[in-house]
Amino acid sequence: MVHLTSPAFKTNAARAMRDPGLQKALGTAKGAFLQRRAAAVAALPEFEALRDIGREIKNHTLAHLDFYLETFAANVERVGGKVHWCSTAEEARATVLKICQDEGAKTVTKGKSMISEELGINDHLEAHGIQPVETDLGEYILQLRREHPSHIIAPAFHLNREDWEADFRRMHTDLPPDRVFAERRDILAEARTRLREKFLAADVGITGANFLIAETGSSVIVTNEGNGDLTQTLPRVHIALASIEKVVPTLEDCCSLLRLLARSATGQDFSVYTTFSTGPKRAPDLDGPEAYHVVLLDNGRSNMMGTEFQEMLRCIRCAACMNHCPVYGAVGGHAYGWVYPGPMGSVLTPSLVGVEKTGHLPNASTFCGKCESVCPVKIPLPKMMRHWREREFERHLTPASMRRGLGLWAWFAQRPALYRAVTRFGIGAVALLGRGRGSFRSLPLAGGWTEGRDLPVPEGGTFMARYKAQQRKAAR
Amino acid sequence: MSKDAILSAIRRGLKRGPLPEDQQAMLRARMAAHPRHLIPARSRVARPAQVALFVGNVEKEFGTVERVADAAEIPAAIAQYLAGQNLPPRFVMAPHPELQALPWGRAPMLAHEARRAQASDLVSVQHGFAGVAETGTLMLPSDPARPTTLNILADTEIVVLRSSAIVGAYEEAWDRLRTAGKLGDPHASGVMPRNVMFVTGPSRSADIEQTLELGAHGPRRLHIVLLDDDPEAR
């Protein structure tokens, strides 16, 4: 499994903000996705209505998840495929390894799959003498660098073009060292040539799944590069890794969600390749895998059912929340310390890994609400992060100083007259202290807060005082 | 058994046991009816506008389209396209009866083999099952006459598509496929072929600095020869 560094979020974030390469990459990337998404959404007047439909489809499916999973599995088996139900990452790793070993596999090509990151499948296969080859361009360079994705749809979000060129020169040593990468396209062409031979040699192809269709027993992948299709078509065996919440009832349900997915993700109207795979090669077919397996992974998700986090299982992994998140934009994905970064990760990671170790994540939010407003299936992400904060508080996981502060505040808040008197006095005192200047550069007891920003000097009275004055004025 | 553990945990969360038979029957009826949701208005237009929308969207996604009035013109159109791209006049072709019936003798310089694609094939010619106007998307279901490898291995993919096969929305393309299955198409096995690809333009990647670049692992060029066989669509 991916090594968990979420407990060190604060250190990770501080390091990320001092990393000039990362900050450059974040700066380059930030605008691109936002503008393209905004344009794609503006070009589809029905987008808002589709968000409600997307939410309803997913809610309907979750309310009958057991039924749709069993239907999906039965339909996979009807066309000669095999479904492996796996409760844990360990079980799924063992299942994948056994399929590969039974096949006598030497190399395995891989399409992009966040589930495979959850499983840490690459290390597991390598430890057993099987060579996994990542074929998504972003995943490929991360494998060369032995890094994990920092974004769920753009795994190499944290890298600059210079990094690509340097790594390709370092790793592709059979090519002339002084070759010129005049354009990004040249980097792409080199990866294409390099990976072509891998696609042809692989014994097993492993992909993820964006959706599973209960009605037909199909797994669906969405890609732009075509690597997923080469991965699942050429080898003798295709393994699709999917978590249980990926299932939807029908092809029509899937179409509605697909209209939301690419627009929310890359800002395309539709991705280049959307492929539905159903079972192994049929007898008269001229190509396709001989065997088709679906590894159905739970890994903690079924425990989210019936809790305040059930709605998180609507997520279709478009990454709009992280693309629009000011915290993600400042620290990048690695700081979050596990597979899923950004707002969706801050809700999902505590659910799957435990809030004891990942409590910083739901606190790493300004609650600006942008994530919820761009979510294609309207997941109330800020509300769920607040639920995690409440659970932390209930379970005494929040630091003592913060608990004392919150306790003090709550005591005052329950005594409105006293609260108003104290705040009136406090505001007056701070205004007096700051007389003659516009803002404080530092404040006693709030050094951490003022380290990165100035506090404006309060002008006039408290909010309540002003509000009452307004009301009186309006009444006259 | 992990299956039982997963299903029980889900049911525990939903605070119920296995669904009663009448509710299961309702869900099965929903799947059998597979109701459509909202279809965007952009493709709800007259046939000629629908075809124009398809062509416009293919071009927006960096594909190219040539319209021909008569099937007999297709071999020459392909020969000219290949010459224009400085590509050799050779290709691998889907062993589809409609493609095999074309008068290839009219373009004597062209050589083709009808089979699945191999790594060495530079150009493939595929049979288009349907085109979806709303995003300029091709629907390419696998069957023995339409191998999947033709869509992914060659550097240049040429798809021959009838304008009568252009529909507005994805749902309508699925309907065509469902109908083909029900009619007992000898090439279809049940409703779902092993593989159904929706293809929108040539392959690309945005992994380097989030900038889309054409020419990733799939075809670098996608060219559609559109046969205007639908009088309503002209």
B203 touches chain A (CB under 8 A): yes
Distance (Å, whole) CA B195 – CA B143: 8
The β-bridge relationship of strands B90-93 and A291-297 is: unpaired
Question: Each residue of A166-198: b (16+ CB within 10 Å) or e?
Answer: ebbbeebeeeeeeeebeebebbbbbbbebbeeb
Q: Nearest C-alpha of chain A: how many angstroms from B163?
A: 21
CA torsion through residues A52, A54, A59, A64, sign:
positive
Mind listing the pLDDT tens digit for each residue in A122-161? Answer: 999 999 999 999 999 999 999 999 999 999 999 999 999 9
> Crossing angle, helix A47-63 and helix A65-78, to 10 degrees?
90
Distance (Å, whole) CA A198 – CA A133: 7
Is residue A308's pLDDT more than 90? yes
Inter-chain contact A229–B143, Cβ cutoff 8 Å?
no
Mind listing the pLDDT tens digit for each residue in B200-233? Answer: 999 999 889 888 899 899 999 999 999 999 999 8
**DSSP letter (8 states) at residue A315:** -
Inter-chain contact B10–A138, Cβ cutoff 8 Å?
no
Kindly state whether residue A108 falls inside one of the protein's structural domains.
Answer: yes
Kindly state whether residue A84 falls inside one of the protein's structural domains.
Answer: yes
Q: What mean pLDDT do residues A74-81 have?
A: 95
Segment among A83-97, A409-423, B51-65, B218-232 with least mean pLDDT: A409-423
B30 touches chain A (CB under 8 A): yes
Is residue B187's pLDDT more than 80? no
Last residue of a domain, one of A254, A287, A302: A302
Mind listing the pLDDT tens digit for each residue in A3-49? Answer: 899 999 999 999 999 999 999 999 887 788 899 999 999 999 999 99
Of A81, A115, A126, the C-alpha closest to A278 is A81
Question: Each residue of A317-344: b (16+ CB within 10 Å) or e?
Answer: bbbbbbbbbebbbebbbbbbbbbbbbbb
Q: Which of A68, A135, A164 sits opposite B208 (nearest CB)?
A: A164
Question: Each residue of A44-66: b (16+ CB within 10 Å) or e?
Answer: beebeebbebbbbbbebbbebbb
Last residue of a domain, one of A271, A302, A333: A302
Please name the amino acid found at residue A310.
Answer: Q
Inter-chain contact B217–A269, Cβ cutoff 8 Å?
no
Residue A296: pLDDT band (50, 70, 90) is: very high
Are A292 and A441 members of one domain?
Answer: no
Q: Nearest C-alpha of chain B: how many angstroms from A83?
A: 10
Kindly state whether residue A379 falls inside one of the protein's structural domains.
Answer: no
Token code pair at residue A268 = 């395309």
Q: What is the pLDDT of residue A450?
A: 80
Kindly state whether residue A333 falls inside one of the protein's structural domains.
Answer: no
The answer to pTM > 0.90 is: yes
CA torsion through residues B135, B141, B146, B149, sign:
positive
Q: What is the pLDDT of residue A443?
A: 77
Q: Percentage of chain B with pLDDT > 90?
A: 88
Of A280, A274, A253, A306, the C-alpha closest to A68 is A253
Report the 10 Å Cβ neighbour count for B36: 17
Mind listing the pLDDT tens digit for each residue in B85-108? Answer: 999 999 999 999 999 999 999 999
Task: Assess contact for A318 and A327: CB atoms under 8 A.
Answer: no
Distance (Å, whole) CA A315 – CA B146: 34
Distance (Å, whole) CA B118 – CA B121: 6
Inter-chain contact A70–B201, Cβ cutoff 8 Å?
no
The size of the A-B interface in CB pairs under 8 A is 275
Q: Nearest C-alpha of chain A: how many angstroms from B182?
A: 14
Inter-chain contact B115–A286, Cβ cutoff 8 Å?
yes
Q: Which residues in chain A have their CB less than 8 angstroms from residue B41's CB? A: 45-46
Answer with the residue of higher pLDDT: B35 or A29. Answer: B35
Question: Which candidate in B58, B208, B220, B221 is best for mutational testing of the A interface (most A CBs within 10 A)?
Answer: B208
Distance (Å, whole) CA A271 – CA A259: 10
Mind listing the pLDDT tens digit for each residue in A281-291? Answer: 999 999 999 99
Is residue A468's pLDDT more than 60? yes
Q: What is the pLDDT of residue B189?
A: 44
Q: Where are the domains of chain B?
A: 1-35, 45-233
Q: Nearest C-alpha of chain A: how many angstroms from B115?
A: 8
Inter-chain contact B7–A216, Cβ cutoff 8 Å?
no
Last residue of a domain, one of A267, A284, A302: A302
Q: Nearest C-alpha of chain B: how many angstroms from A385?
A: 20
Residue A54: pLDDT band (50, 70, 90) is: very high
Distance (Å, whole) CA A341 – CA A330: 12
Q: Which domain holds residue A467?
A: 415-475
Looking at the 3D structure of chain A, how many domains does it have?
2
Is residue A451's pLDDT more than 70? yes
CATH code for the domain of A48: 3.40.50.10420
- Measure Cα distances from A204 to A162, A227, A232, A236 in Å: 33, 14, 8, 6
| Residue A250 half-sphere exposure toward CB, CA atoms < 13 A | 22
Residues 6+ apart with CB under 8 A from A296: A69, A73, A83, A84, A85, A86, A242, A243, A244, B6
B218 touches chain A (CB under 8 A): yes
**DSSP letter (8 states) at residue A81:** -
What mean pLDDT is reported for chain A? Answer: 94
Inter-chain contact A137–B205, Cβ cutoff 8 Å?
yes
Q: Which CATH number does B45-233 carry?
A: 3.40.50.10420
Distance (Å, whole) CA A19 – CA A41: 33
Q: What is the pLDDT of residue A210?
A: 98
Q: What mean pLDDT do residues B1-17 have?
A: 97
Q: Which residues in chain A have their CB less than 8 angstroms from residue B134's CB? A: 269
In chain B, residues 63-92 whose CB comes closer than 8 Å to chain A: none
Q: Which residues in chain A have their CB less than 8 angstroms from residue B143's CB? A: 282, 284-285
Contacts 24+ apart (CB under 8 A), A447-455: none
Is residue B182's pLDDT more than 50? yes
Kindly state whether residue A183 falls inside one of the protein's structural domains.
Answer: yes
Q: What mean pLDDT do residues B173-201 have?
A: 78
In chain B, residues 91-130 whose CB comes closer than 8 Å to chain A: 95, 115-117, 119
Mind listing the pLDDT tens digit for each residue in A194-228? Answer: 999 999 999 999 999 999 999 999 999 999 999 99
B190 touches chain A (CB under 8 A): yes
Q: Which residues in chain A have their CB less than 8 angstroms from residue B37's CB? A: 50, 53, 57, 252-253, 255-256
Q: Which of B19, B201, B213 sits opposite A64 (nearest CB)?
A: B19
Q: Which residues in chain B have their CB less than 8 angstroms from residue A158's CB? A: none
Q: Tokens 């979000």, residue?
A: A157
Q: Which residues in chain B have their CB less than 8 angstroms from residue A276's CB? A: 192, 195-197
Coil, strand or helix at A290: coil
Q: Percentage of chain A with pLDDT > 70?
A: 99
Q: Tokens 């600006």, residue?
A: A368
Report the 10 Å Cβ neighbour count for B229: 16
Is residue A103's pLDDT more than 90? yes
Q: Nearest C-alpha of chain B: how many angstroms from A183?
A: 10
Q: Which residues in chain B have their CB less than 8 angstroms from residue A92's CB? A: none
Distance (Å, whole) CA A317 – CA A155: 13
Burial class (CB in 10 A: 0-12, 13-18, 19+), A35: exposed
Of A361, A276, A81, A445, the C-alpha closest to B196 is A276
Report the 10 Å Cβ neighbour count for B94: 28
Kindly state whether residue A69 falls inside one of the protein's structural domains.
Answer: yes
Burial class (CB in 10 A: 0-12, 13-18, 19+), B219: buried
